[in-house]
Structure 1
Amino acid sequence: MTARRLLVPLAASLMLLAACGTAPQPVVVASPSPSAVISPSPPAPSASPSPTPTVRPSRSPSASPSRKPAERWVPKPGITWQWQLTTPVDLSVDAEVYDIDGFLNDADVVAELHRRGRKAICYVEVGAAENFRPDYPDWPRELLGGSNGWPGERWLDIRDPAKLKPVLAKRFAMCAKKGFDAVEPDLMDAYESETGFPITAAHQLRFNRFVARLAHEHGLSVALKNDVDQAAELVGDFDFTVNEECAAFDECASLKPFLEAGKAVLHAEYDLAPAEYCAESRRLNLSSLHKSRDLDAAATPCP
């Protein structure tokens, strides 16, 4: 992630929390009953440098047939959402959409969300390689760049999307096989960071459009993750956007192209208090949450 938005890749957060032995104080903690939580299957031991075990590899899924644009789910502005990248997922949160880790959650979690009338978004990284994921050995070595600031993660060279397609296609196929409705592909603004590669804005546009097409080929709706400066150019390619801290960086108005197209802006703030941004969120019809940076179950939506 960019230096100003050190996002919260799940496993990196888990490793940091494990090292510290403490957890951040949540804003609002939902208290699920035991029956409201579905735990994923126990993970297998990992070769990750962290003692925290990694996720259990999924079976190799086959791609789902592409849905026509009219058949794809397009979340509308103002929809309610929950963003939790820790497990087990708290299924008691009152939200229409859940954005959860695609590797750590199995099909039974997605099925339970659907049973409760929720939509499910599959979080995966597309712009960095994570050495704690089961498919890490599949990334071509020559495409691995510098650290993105999180333990075990390295930027990817996105200039030739075809070289990344085999791994990304398997990730999206995994999301589709588990029954997810959409994908949140993270780290889609590498051109704004020091990656170790001369990535330009033009490279990023081409890669992001490639990601959108690939998700659609697997029958998944797809979010533009951050990349606010290119939002107007990409609104036609993506079904909604997931944004971090547009209020903190005075960028929320730049996401109007999505809102005007009838596409949701799923928005999270970390450091600002809700009173500092909720009025604008309501005016623009953003789907805004206050979250802690570890993205656990605690969340405060704008009233």
Structure 2
Amino acid sequence: MATAACSADSPDGDGRWRPEPGTAWHWQLSGALDLTVDVPVYDIDGFESGASDVAALHDRDVRVICYVNAGAWEDFRPDAGDFPLALLGEGNGWEGERWLDIRDLDALRPLMAERFDMCRNKGFDAVEPDLLDGYLNATGFPLTAADQLAYNRMIADLAHDRGLSVGLKNDLPQIPELVDEFDFAVNEECAEFGECAALTPFIEAGKAVFHVEYALSAAEFCPETTALGLSSMAKNLDLDAWRDPC
């Protein structure tokens, strides 16, 4: 059975799961899913993973996070045709993906709601909505910090309305304004760019920060990130089954 510091329910009595700082995790979005890693939290693709995968992990008392892209359109998803063309911006560097115009909350709300419904219906405990920092990128739209805050808050509300916990993905500049509305954080490469201290508000709030590095070895960043309370590991960029945790 997987064990680690992991709170079962919200201290606020709302029933949501809130992982505590230091909780170990496994993150896999490509390759044959390895269901045997001895950790209390998995983060896996919401579309590619089935209810049976979630159930198998729950049988080991593992909490399961549903990865979905909330900031970019993906031409390979089954709901790709549901997104109006006017919402699609510049490519984001990943094949088949284009930034979304997050200013159009009315258009995106039902689309993201359906994705979160999928996560709930498959039995996931939480959602990892990716690319919640479009305003920091060349999206093709004049996105502002205020636009991003409004969208990220909508995303958090959609998850919570379905009884799902939700993680803030990257978006370091807005952590002080969003930490109370998200249940944990997911971060990529804060050590490489000297930004890990910016995640401290989550740790101070008793909420886990799930963190990975791609270009650095675990030996290079673990002393710093462990001291900060982050749940860190080295991963391959394609997020296959390989992991080297702190």
Same fold? TM cut 0.5: yes
Alpha-carbon RMSD across the aligned residues, in angstroms, is 1.0
Of 180, 185, 200, which residue of structure 1 is paired with 2:129? Answer: 185
Secondary structure, aligned partner of 1:188: coil
Letter paired with 1:278: C
1:133 matched residue in structure 2: 77
Q: Give, in whole Å, the separation in 2 of the partners of 1:109 and 1:275.
A: 32
Secondary structure, aligned partner of 2:124: coil
Kindly tell me the number of residue pairs found equivalent between the two proteins.
235
Greater relative contact order, per chain length (Cα 8 Å cut-off, separation 6+): 1
2:100 is aligned with 1:160: no
Mean CA deviation greater in 80-89 or 221-230: 80-89
1:300 matched residue in structure 2: 244
Structure 2: gaps spanning 5 or more residues? 1-11
Q: Deviations over 1:211-240 (max 9, x none)?
A: 000111111100000001111110011000
Secondary structure, aligned partner of 2:180: coil
1:246 matched residue in structure 2: 190
Task: Tell me how far 1:88 sits from its aligned partner.
Answer: 2.6
Letter paired with 1:107: A
Q: Deviations over 1:27-54 (max 9, x none)?
A: xxxxxxxxxxxxxxxxxxxxxxxxxxxx
Of 143, 154, 179, which residue of structure 1 is paired with 2:87? Answer: 143
Pairing of 1:20-169 with structure 2 (within 5 A):
70-169=14-113
Q: Deviations over 1:108-145 (max 9, x none)?
A: 00000000110000000011110100000101111111
2:206 is aligned with 1:262: yes
Q: Give, in whole Å, the separation in 2 of the partners of 1:69 and 1:108.
A: 29
Q: TM-score, normalized by length of structure 2?
A: 0.94
Q: TM-score, normalized by length of structure 1?
A: 0.76
Q: Give, in whole Å, the separation in 1 of the partners of 2:106 and 2:233.
A: 35
1:55 matched residue in structure 2: none
Structure 1's consecutive aligned runs of 4 or more residues displaced over 6 angstroms after TM superposition are none
Q: 1:229 to 1:242 in 2, by over 3 A?
A: same
Q: Percent identity?
A: 60
Q: Give, in whole Å, the separation in 2 of the partners of 1:103 and 1:69.
A: 30
Task: Tell me how far 1:86 sits from its aligned partner.
Answer: 1.5
Structure 1: gaps spanning 5 or more residues? 1-67
Q: Give, in whole Å, the separation in 1 of the partners of 2:37 and 2:241.
A: 8
Q: 1:260 to 1:221 in 2, by over 3 A?
A: same
Q: Deviations over 1:140-191 (max 9, x none)?
A: 1111111111111111000121210111000000000000000000000000
Q: 1:141 to 1:289 in 2, by over 3 A?
A: same
Any conservation in 2 of the 1:99–1:122 contact (CA below 8 Å)?
yes
Any conservation in 2 of the 1:87–1:104 contact (CA below 8 Å)?
no
Mean CA deviation greater in 217-226 or 82-91: 82-91
Task: Tell me how far 1:69 sits from its aligned partner.
Answer: 5.5
2:160 is aligned with 1:216: yes
Q: Give, in whole Å, the separation in 2 of the partners of 1:162 and 1:298.
A: 39
Any conservation in 2 of the 1:232–1:255 contact (CA below 8 Å)?
no
2:176 is aligned with 1:232: yes
Q: Give, in whole Å, the separation in 1 of the partners of 2:122 and 2:192.
A: 35
Between Structure 1 and Structure 2, whose CA radius of gyration is higher? 1
